[in-house]
Structure 1
Amino acid sequence: MSFADILRPVTDFLELGGPVVALLAVLSVVALAVVILKLAQFWLERVGRPGRAEAAVRLWGHGRHREAWQALGDIRSASEEAVAIALQAGEAGTVDKALVEEEIARAATRRLHGFNRGMKALDAIAQIAPLLGLFGTVLGMIEAFQKLQEAGNAVDPSLLAGGIWVALLTTAAGLAVAMPVSLVVTFLESRIEDEKVAIETLASAVLLQQARGARAADPLADTEAGGFERVANAH
């Protein structure tokens, strides 16, 4: 079987569906490429997998600072970067919580923006694909009824039925593109949300541990540490 024979069903389908189906095919290829890139990015940067960051925070809380850094390993995820910034502030004895939080927020915003890149394109494809399919169906129905009118008294029911099923083909194609893309967008957005929660909770946990340590070492810092805890808990 030649390559042309393999592609023949695809070309026949595109010819049958018309330009709308061809456009949906292009959108499906674009969506597939973006999905592959995003999945690879999320896997490499461990988005939504804060296991290392959580282990580092637990070890840091037990005073095992060297092991905490070892648990982070090669820092790739946004939550790991946020925890690393908090750990560095703890080692340096930084007491200006606002500056540390600002640095964490800056790093998190940059990383989260990178995670969201391409998501709007996928969301747009998921929304426009069914509309394109419906548009193709409406055009097909118009064409079918035009042929029915031209036939006059010699109406052939098979002519109308054939035009209708070809018209409905575009709706099916639009839904076939939109449904999996919508599921992938939902999955990726949930991973981003998990990463965002991990950044906020884990970095705040390290800063809270640091505040408690400073309060234990200096009784005069009790008031300052109390405010520190309240802000951390609010995050």
Structure 2
Amino acid sequence: MPPVVLVHGIRVSGTMWGPVMSSLDRPSAAVDLPGHGTRRGEPFSMDAAVSAVADAIDSLGGRALVAGLSLGGYVGIAAAERIPGRVAGLVAMGCTARNASTAWIYRSVAALAVRDPARADRISSHVLRRVLPGPAGAAMVAGGLSCEVLPQAVAAVAGHDQLAALAAYPGRVWLVNGARDPFRSDERAFLRACRDGRLILIPRRGHLGVLRDPGPLARLLGDLCDQLDRPERAVAAPSPR
């Protein structure tokens, strides 16, 4: 029964996983990536992000399922490539759009955000609370927002070959997307790149909507952990309420 390391999305922090962690039935840890949350102000790079994930894995015994959303999913893919012996399995959520197809969107947003990071943080907080009302949205902003890190994070993701990383990782991979997530555009290419991969679609959910119901998501992560210790069987996507 491996523990779970959870990796947050861009500009938010590990607090976004609080509602999910409270429903998990196994040890877990949520990292703060460089430039985010308690590490705000630190430079972001993929090497530094993977190091943060490695430290979290070591705090849980040295081997864990790594699950990340959006930026966290891309970081998880890099961790699986670079420290495969410590990544028992990978759950990559909302991160199956290839660099060329989405980088320009994020670069444009990042360029706007760094002109006035405080204003960008306020706008982001409002949007996140509207997209995820209630505890899920509150958890997203509880650790503070860090829009000033957007250019560094976008550049790090754009400079990493996710398909090659997935092809290099020998372990099991689950690609989890909301069925309405626009960033699932290249999911089939990502799936083909995996040596042992599965695609799970969550009905009627968008990019962040997979966090709307933390209980079903926690049960899914727990089931995927269990599968690492037993023969493979089919996994049903959690049903949104």
Asked whether the two chains share a fold, i.e. TM above 0.5, the reply is no
Q: Which structure's relative contact order is higher, taking Cα pairs within 8 Å and 6+ residues apart?
A: 1
Q: Provide TM-score, normalisation by structure 1.
A: 0.26
**When you count strand as a share of all residues, which structure comes out higher?**
2
* TM-score (norm. length: structure 2): 0.25
